[in-house]
Amino acid sequence: MAPKPGRGRRVRQAVSRIRVGVVYGGRSGEHEVSCVSARSVVRALDPVRFTVVEIFIAPDGRWSVGGEPAWLRLDRTGQAALVVGGREVVCDVLFPVLHGTYGEDGTFQGLCEMVNVPYVGADVLGSAVGMDKGVQKALLRDAGLPVVPFRVVEASRWEREPGGVYAEVASVGYPCFVKPTRLGSSVGVHRVDREEELAHAVRDALRYDLAVIVERAVLDPVEVEVSVLGNDDPVASVPGEIRPTHRFYDYDAKYVDPQGAQLVVPAQIPTDQAEGVRELSLRAFRVLRLSGMARVDFLLDRGGAVYVSEVNTIPGFTPISMYPRLWEASGVPYRELVGRLVDLALERWRRRNALCTSYEGGRRIRMEGVG
């Protein structure tokens, strides 16, 4: 069912299919991964329910549809449309498959909010805190969820006071991981086993962001992931286990080397531990004020301790990605999954559009003047 008209949205006549704009690419170190994910999403959207518009964002930020330049424009009623080759293309909902900066971090979501277009996934707040690993972990920690010891190091502090950074990292302990705070897909991530390796890891991670997060490594961990789906009443999938064959689950293991990791679904962990990580994934989803979808990653040490490693608000949708695989194993096929995500986006948009956006007192001030 197509969305009901809201503020400034044009009423369609006899709409039989929902027009979904799949947005992919983007100005991010995860550009290539986004393109692979988007191909899978486009193939999965049910042609009986949806008409797909593929919207590509180049690494330099330029938009295009079908190879033609495109840009966003508002008409006199406030209706948002893409202008492509002199014609207007109006989408009922946007499905961002934009991993990393300028797509997963709240910036794209803010654009959608400004022009009142429904979109799949977390809103501005959820996307921003989900993307920033330092803020995310602080919120999870303060809400009582288990996270490993960590420190955030800004580029300016590294340049000004490297000795202090070394001391803080020593308090976290070696081995540790150094990561850009606002990037995913293991881009710029380094495992640091001793102090002599720290400078190289920090400098490389700072190529991708203005701050890095340093986290204590969990030795010989069991890596488990859970997929979450929903808005106000989210549900969790069965857990899956990742067994990397590389030193850790790095970019090559995820996307380049077909033998880089073994994905075990469901995870081979005790039943009580599986239920525990599913419950923690739902708690993390609510703490970060997420909606639509998320993948929650965990590290389990051999002593039985469980740590929330990371929450991803736009998880991978490649053919081998864990988010759709876990839902397949939980009884939700890929095609049904992407359809549900579109429905959740429209549901949230309708609820938000029912909110009041004006105030009677403010109207009186405008009419009467101030003072």
Instruction: Give the span between the Cα atoms of 251 and 324, in whole angstroms.
Output: 19
Catalytic residue from among 312, 323, 325, 334: 312
DSSP one-letter code for 9: P
Instruction: Give the span between the Cα atoms of 101 and 182, in whole angstroms.
Output: 7
Q: Is 209 a catalytic residue?
A: no
What domains sit in the chain, N to C, each tagged with a CATH number? Answer: 18-121 (3.40.50.20), 149-216 (3.30.1490.20), 222-313 (3.30.470.20)
Q: What amino acid is encoded at 267 in this protein?
A: A
- State pTM to two decimals: 0.87
Catalytic residue from among 25, 29, 30, 188: 30
Q: Is 233 a catalytic residue?
A: no
DSSP assignment of 62-114 equals -EEETTEEEEEEE-TT--EEEEETTEEE--SEEEEE--STTTTSSHHHHHHHH
Q: Is 295 a catalytic residue?
A: yes
Instruction: Give the span between the Cα atoms of 317 and 37, in whole angstroms.
Output: 4
Separation in Å, CA 359 to CA 73, 352, 356, 371: 28, 16, 8, 19
Instruction: Give the span between the Cα atoms of 244 and 248, in whole angstroms.
Output: 6
pLDDT in tens, 203-257: 999 998 999 999 999 988 999 999 999 999 999 999 999 987 766 555 555 555 5
Q: Is 316 a catalytic residue?
A: yes
Catalytic residue from among 9, 216, 278, 295: 295
Residue carrying the six token digits 């330092």: 134
Catalytic residue from among 185, 186, 309, 330: 185
Per-residue tens of pLDDT for the chain, all 371 residues: 334 444 444 444 445 799 999 999 999 878 888 999 999 999 999 999 999 999 999 999 999 999 999 998 887 777 789 999 889 999 999 999 998 889 999 999 999 999 999 999 999 999 999 999 999 999 999 999 999 999 999 999 999 999 999 999 999 999 999 999 987 656 789 999 999 999 999 999 999 899 999 999 998 899 999 999 999 999 999 999 998 776 655 555 555 555 667 889 999 999 999 999 999 999 999 999 999 999 999 999 988 899 999 999 999 898 778 999 999 999 999 999 999 999 999 999 999 999 887 776 656 666 666 55
Contact present, 29 and 188 (Cβ < 8 Å): yes
Q: Is 30 a catalytic residue?
A: yes
Torsion of CA 230, 351, 336, 9, to 10 degrees: -150
Catalytic residue from among 241, 316, 323, 339: 316
Q: Is 102 a catalytic residue?
A: no
Q: Is 123 a catalytic residue?
A: no
Catalytic residue from among 208, 249, 255, 307: 255
